[in-house]
């Protein structure tokens, strides 16, 4: 990776206004072919005790009880995937299990473009909480704000959908309409927004010169190309300042997070100065 040349004058002034939400990525993905049945229960790590047989029995008994007595039949795969999701959800608010479709969506939003509204959301209280509208997208232009709660999409209640179903319902072809019902703190009644989908091209880095020789760089999300875009933006600012860039403001306000590796790379650019 191209390294940022050293800023030689008064240093870099960094504004960090956000605790980063970083996606949980497992160290390895296991399938049935990866697991040795004889070692599945006794495998240990430096930080954990072996799984006890009674814990395994309790888990399988719960699955059996659900399959035998739940009001409708349940697919085994769905039960296991929901169990994995539950384990990850119980760790912290930012760890999440991604199935194949969810992983493809993650790759799409961090490296490409898609038809949609341009809003980062997370599940909370059974609805969608807006983390941040993406700059210059239909959501941002319509006035959707961080902290809003999306309770219905096109008249269908979000709490009747899974998180993926709710998110996918906001995506679609450019030019098609979406009706969102939003609850906002301080507003007595729900707000209604009619938005028109557009092609969301996520530009994660923006920059401009401030007064007195200081540069400004905004990172709206940590995507695959973010580090190189940031380095290029700072190089451009240095040229605009005639090589006399006094300092830099790094703006991460309303940044919803993104790729952990990219966040580390961005930090490394400054730590190596």
CA of residue 63 relative to chain centroid, distance? 31
Grade residue 40 by pLDDT with cuts at 50, 70 and 90. Answer: very low
At residue 216, the pLDDT reads 95
> Higher model confidence: residue 222 or residue 111?
222
Dihedral pair phi/psi, residue 232, rounded to 5°: -65, -40
Residue 79 has pLDDT above 70, yes or no: yes
Q: Within the chain, where are the H helices?
A: 53-69, 76-89, 100-111, 138-142, 163-170, 226-240, 260-271
Residue 41 has pLDDT above 70, yes or no: no
At residue 201, the pLDDT reads 77
pLDDT in tens, 4-17: 333 322 333 333 33
Give the C-alpha separation, 191 to 73, whole Å.
38
Element (H, E) at 251: strand 247-251
At residue 150, the pLDDT reads 95
């Amino acid at each position: 990776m191209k390294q940022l040349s050293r800023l030689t004058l008064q240093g870099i002034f960094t504004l960090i206004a956000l605790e980063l939400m970083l996606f949980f990525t497992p160290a390895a993905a296991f399938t049935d072919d990866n697991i040795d049945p004889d070692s599945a229960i006794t495998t240990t790590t430096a930080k954990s005790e072996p799984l006890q047989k009674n814990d395994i029995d309790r888990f399988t008994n719960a699955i059996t009880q659900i399959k035998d007595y739940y009001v409708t039949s349940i697919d085994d795969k769905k039960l296991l995937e929901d169990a994995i999701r539950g384990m990850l959800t119980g760790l912290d608010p930012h760890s999440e299990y991604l199935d194949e479709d969810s992983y493809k969506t993650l790759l799409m939003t961090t490296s490409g473009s898609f038809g949609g509204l341009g809003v980062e959301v997370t599940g909370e209280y059974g609805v969608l909480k807006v983390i941040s509208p993406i700059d210059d997208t239909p959501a941002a232009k319509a006035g959707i704000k961080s902290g809003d709660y999306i309770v219905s999409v096109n008249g269908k209640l979000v709490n009747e959908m899974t998180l993926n179903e709710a998110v996918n319902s906001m995506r679609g072809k450019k030019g098609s309409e979406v009706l969102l019902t939003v609850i906002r703190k301080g507003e007595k009644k729900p707000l209604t927004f009619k938005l028109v989908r557009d092609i969301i091209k996520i530009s994660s880095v923006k920059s401009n010169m401030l007064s007195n020789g200081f540069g400004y760089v905004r990172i709206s999300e940590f995507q695959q190309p973010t580090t190189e875009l940031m380095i290029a933006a700072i190089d451009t600012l240095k040229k605009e300042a005639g090589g006399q860039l006094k300092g830099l403001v790094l703006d991460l306000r309303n940044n919803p997070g993104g790729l952990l590796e990219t966040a580390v790379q961005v930090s490394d650019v400054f730590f190596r100065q």
